[in-house]
Structure 1
Amino acid sequence: MVRPYFIAIAGPSASGKTLFAQTLREAVHAQAPGLGLALISEDSYYLDQGDVPPAERERVNYDHPDALEQNLLLSHLHALRAGEDVEVPVYDYARHTRAPHSERVSPAPVVLVEGILLLAHPGLRAFFDIRFFVDTPLDLCLLRRLARDLDERGRSAADVLRQYEETVRPMYFEFIQPSARHADMVITGGGRNAAALDVVMRLVLSHQAARPVAPPP
């Protein structure tokens, strides 16, 4: 079988990572309709908070690496590389814990993974074939995060701002910003950087055209 190509798209919360990944997937499909591409979000791997009282779940530091089951994500990526399906957790943002169901993801020639702390985890960053960091000013990230959480997650402005001040911004400077040095390319301008999208799309297509067949795992 052809060895899958794994791409990491990291960067601060609301920097445009998901938009970049989705736009890239659409561009690749337009150029190569038969090329399979899977998309996984690191957010899906937030630890289950089912044993934590609901009132206390809002106080969890979700921007610290300890809030994520990153080793499970890494094991799932290894399984996909070996040609196996994986059951990706589904995170319920309204309840601040995992949903009772999961989402099956099958192996694909290209696997995109996006998340804030992908490059802060040694095992994860070493796994990827190529690593990108979406660098967006924090004030713009805050405005996007505020609009998203008010509209999609039913949160109050006061709660979003409290979380940003207490955990999001401090964890950015402690973990996320330093991890940018591990990126192969830093992308400015957010998720609609046309030049960056074109570069990555051409890289994916050329890589797949020349990819050698891997021996069975």
Structure 2
Amino acid sequence: MVTLLLHALVASLQAPTRQPFIIGVAGATASGKSSVVAEIVRLLDHEDVCSITQDSFYKNLDDTEREQAYQQNYNFDHPTAFDFEGQRNVLLQLCAGATDVSIPSYDFVTHARLPPKHDLHVRNPEIVIFEGILALYDEKMRDLFDLKVFVDVDADVRLARRIKRDMVSRGRSLDGVLQQYERFVKPATEQFVLPTKRYADIVIPNGVENAVGIDIVAQHINGVLMRRELMQETVEGLSFQTDGPLELSPTSLIRPGRWQGGKQQQQSRQVSGMENTAV
């Protein structure tokens, strides 16, 4: 029985496809999710990281909806504004080891997806970070995340950031931003976004200003990657015949890897118990 189980373990780890470590990052509008993700990516210093924004999956609007959007009368913060099926399909393709996954681009000025030539093409990354206001809203999406993070920032700070962002980069007027915030953003945030905080494994208060919290998340991810690599190296050191007993070589069970520094090992142990806590 033990032999059969080890054969199965080796076969699964030696499969040609590699399943990425997927992180979901949620938070209310203008909470600084993108900045937090950028800092995590910087701290990871890993060459195979893919960051995907949920904004890419806004649904295409019909003529009536587009006119409503131009008049600040369309609710972009409601779950019905997003293509959740498209999001899941992208993550499922990545989980399956697809080598060319297309991610759409969205234009906030015209309220429409850009032509396919503007798509982002992702090729079997080791780490995937998916961020958006409703990243943790859909249960099927949550099931695909190995780690769930919520960025928690005070409402006044978020509003000030949103006003600046929408006026500078999205061509909105101050009156239009405030009108949309009062009518759609604030109610949707309270009804749909903030309740998803309970699903998070880690909560990061104060967003990108919380350097300690972001560092802990990065350490945790590095710890997971370290354990994955050590497991893979251990499996590669096992030799067996498919029609005979499994032979274990004691000297091959522990092999030096790029993550086997004492400092990295200590850090991974320290953050292993940080889940379900605010940092």
**Same-fold status (TM-score > 0.5):** yes
- Answering whether residue 194 of structure 2 is matched by residue 177 of structure 1, we say yes
Q: Which runs of 5+ in 1 are unaligned?
A: none
Q: Which residue of 2 aligns with 1:60?
A: 74
Question: Does the residue aligned with 1:76 lie in a helix, a strand or coil?
Answer: helix
Give the C-alpha shift of residue 100 in structure 1.
1.4
Relative contact order, CA 8 A, sep 6+: which one is greater? 1
Give the C-alpha shift of residue 63 in structure 1.
0.4
Question: Does the residue aligned with 1:120 lie in a helix, a strand or coil?
Answer: coil
Whole-angstrom distance in 2 between the partners of 1:130 and 1:54? 35
1:64-75 equivalences under 5 Å are 64-75=78-89
| 2:104 aligns with one of 89, 105, 117 | 89
1:108-187 equivalences under 5 Å are 108-187=125-204
Question: Does the residue aligned with 2:165 lie in a helix, a strand or coil?
Answer: helix
Q: Which residue of 1 aligns with 2:23?
A: 7
Whole-angstrom distance in 2 between the partners of 1:128 and 1:54? 32
| 1:38 aligns with one of 42, 45, 50 | 50
User: After superposition, what is the alpha-carbon deviation per residue over 1:153-184, rounded to whole angstroms, capped at 9, x for unaligned?
Assistant: 11101111011001100001111111110001
TM-score normalised over the length of structure 2: 0.72
Whole-angstrom distance in 2 between the partners of 1:167 and 1:191? 25
Q: 1:81 to 1:62 in 2, by over 3 A?
A: same
For the pair shown, which has the larger CA radius of gyration, 1 or 2? 2
RMSD: 1.4
Q: Which residue of 1 aligns with 2:32?
A: 16
Q: Which runs of 5+ in 2 are unaligned?
A: 1-16, 233-279
Amino acid paired to 1:179? T
Whole-angstrom distance in 2 between the partners of 1:110 and 1:166? 37
Whole-angstrom distance in 2 between the partners of 1:39 and 1:53? 29
Between Structure 1 and Structure 2, which shows a larger proportion of strand residues? 1
Tell me the matched-pair count. Answer: 209
Runs of 4+ in 1 over 6 A off after TM superposition: none
Q: Which residue of 1 aligns with 2:42?
A: 26
Give the C-alpha shift of residue 51 in structure 1.
4.0
Amino acid paired to 1:38? C
Whole-angstrom distance in 2 between the partners of 1:97 and 1:105? 21
Question: Does the residue aligned with 1:40 lie in a helix, a strand or coil?
Answer: strand
Amino-acid identity (%): 35
Q: 1:3 to 1:193 in 2, by over 3 A?
A: same
Q: Which residue of 1 aligns with 2:60?
A: 48
Give the C-alpha shift of residue 21 in structure 1.
0.2
TM-score normalised over the length of structure 1: 0.92
Whole-angstrom distance in 1 between the partners of 2:184 and 2:168? 21
User: After superposition, what is the alpha-carbon deviation per residue over 1:62-117, rounded to whole angstroms, capped at 9, x for unaligned?
Assistant: 10000000111011001011111211111000011111132212221110011000
More divergent stretch after superposition (149-158 vs 52-61)? 52-61
Give the C-alpha shift of residue 146 in structure 1.
0.4
